[in-house]
């Protein structure tokens, strides 16, 4: 995957920094899930790796959130704990050759707890060896200003609908299919890259759209029945809620651009209904990021 195809500004900035031997010791890549942050991070890691002559003089560490325990009927939140940062700090203390590099990638960096951020701040203030940190964050609010200030922040934004279709067509996707994937992917480079190669995932997401569309006209008891069943069957609601908010954004996009899709779904909603639906889901997602939330009640709130 060549990230320069859609994230040219970011990759050119990083190329110039490498050419001048002025890579920052820490980067914070911020943008929506699957917008392409990880792809650019992997590209940067490979560029750094190629600068090292001996493989033993290059070390790569990745940190992922650990799933916390949850109460019955609630969703355990992923957290990056202080012990993970402590372990990374000890590992990066290892001495490499003079031309060696160490790269630390913190995935879902917004899920670091406060103690983890405090310890990471100390590490960033006193970097050891030639260590480069890459923090990947879907949103910045939970990350302390002191941590952000130690990083070079690069923002990643989705492609426009037209850009998305053009990119997909260049990848060999036919025009009609490209239009569907562009709506499902909402300009997120990573997500569209995955969807274009996975027709089953495309159909699964479309089925969830059709299900949500049908729920809008169902009586309240049917909506509550769906909420109870979904809360029991799904271990996490983040994927469903993400696809739902993409659905409503797609309805908004179709209405504003006059697009047609599957019998003109957007014609069934007025602007106020679409905006209210998006606000509700984003409100629930925001609460999920801060505290454990009863999944059934969250779905009921969205559907009423």
CATH number at residue 68: 3.40.50.300
Q: Is residue 171 part of a domain?
A: no
Instruction: Identify the domain boundary among 104, 125, 156.
Output: 156
Q: Are residues 13 and 148 in the same domain?
A: yes
Question: Does residue 12 belong to any structural domain of this protein?
Answer: yes
Do 127 and 235 fall within a single domain?
A: no
142 and 264 in a common domain = no
Whether 212 and 77 map to the same domain: the answer is no
Identify whether 186 is part of a domain: no
- Residues 267 and 205 placed together within one structural domain of the fold: yes
Q: How many domains does the chain have?
A: 2
Task: Provide long-range contacts, Cβ within 8 A and 24+ apart, for 116-123.
Answer: 116/80, 116/81, 116/82, 116/84, 116/85, 117/143, 117/144, 117/147, 118/82, 119/82, 119/85, 119/86, 119/89, 120/85, 120/147, 121/146, 121/147, 121/150, 123/85, 123/88, 123/89, 123/92
Q: Count other Cβ atoms within 10 Å, centred on residue 124.
A: 19
Range of the domain at 232: 198-303
Same domain (yes/no): 130, 238: no
Q: Does 161 reside within a domain?
A: no
**pLDDT given for residue 43 in this prediction:** 95
Largest distance between two CA atoms of the chain: 69
In a domain, residue 168? The reply is: no
Q: What pLDDT score was predicted for residue 23?
A: 93
Q: What is the pLDDT along the chain (304 residues), one digit of tens a residue?
A: 566 567 889 999 999 999 998 999 999 999 999 999 999 999 999 999 998 877 778 889 999 998 754 444 444 468 999 999 999 998 887 666 667 889 999 999 999 999 999 999 999 988 777 899 999 999 998 999 999 999 999 999 999 999 999 999 999 999 999 999 999 999 999 999 999 999 999 999 999 999 999 999 899 999 999 999 998 887 678 889 999 999 999 999 888 887 776 655 667 788 999 999 999 999 998 887 777 778 899 999 999 8
Shared domain check, 144 and 207: no
**112 and 252 assigned to the same domain:** no
Q: Is 190 contained in some domain? A: no
Number of neighbours of residue 121 by Cβ within 10 angstroms: 16
The verdict on residue 180 lying in a domain is: no
The strand pair at 152-156 and 101-106 is best described as unpaired
What DSSP state is assigned to residue 97?
-
pTM of the model as a whole: 0.86
What single DSSP character describes residue 121? H
């Amino acid at each position: 995957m060549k990230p320069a195809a859609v994230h040219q500004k970011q990759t050119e900035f990083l190329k110039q920094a490498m050419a001048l031997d002025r890579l920052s010791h820490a980067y914070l890549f911020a943008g929506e899930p699957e917008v392409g942050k990880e792809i650019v991070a992997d590209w940067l890691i490979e560029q750094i790796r190629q600068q090292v002559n001996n493989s033993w003089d290059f070390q790569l560490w990745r940190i992922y959130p650990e799933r916390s325990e949850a109460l019955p009927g609630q969703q355990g939140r992923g957290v990056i704990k202080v012990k993970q940062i402590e372990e990374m700090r000890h590992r990066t203390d290892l001495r490499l050759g003079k031309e060696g590099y160490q790269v630390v990638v913190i995935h879902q960096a917004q899920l670091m707890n406060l103690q983890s951020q405090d310890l990471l701040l100390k590490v960033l203030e006193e970097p050891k060896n030639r260590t480069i940190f890459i923090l990947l964050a879907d949103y910045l609010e939970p990350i302390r200003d002191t941590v952000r200030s130690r990083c070079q922040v690069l923002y990643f934004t989705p492609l426009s609908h037209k850009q998305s279709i053009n990119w997909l067509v260049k990848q060999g996707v036919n025009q009609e299919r490209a239009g569907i994937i562009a709506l499902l992917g909402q300009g997120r480079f990573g997500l569209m890259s995955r969807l274009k190669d996975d027709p089953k995932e495309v159909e699964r997401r479309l089925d969830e759209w059709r299900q949500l569309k049908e729920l809008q006209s169902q009586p309240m008891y049917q909506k509550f029945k769906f909420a109870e069943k979904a809360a029991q069957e799904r271990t996490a609601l983040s994927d469903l809620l993400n696809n739902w908010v993409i659905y409503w954004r797609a309805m908004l996009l179709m209405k504003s651009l006059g697009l047609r899709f599957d019998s003109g779904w957007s014609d069934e909603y007025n602007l106020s209904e679409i905006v209210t639906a998006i606000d509700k889901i984003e409100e629930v997602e925001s609460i999920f990021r801060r505290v454990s939330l009863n999944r059934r009640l969250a779905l009921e709130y969205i559907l009423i």
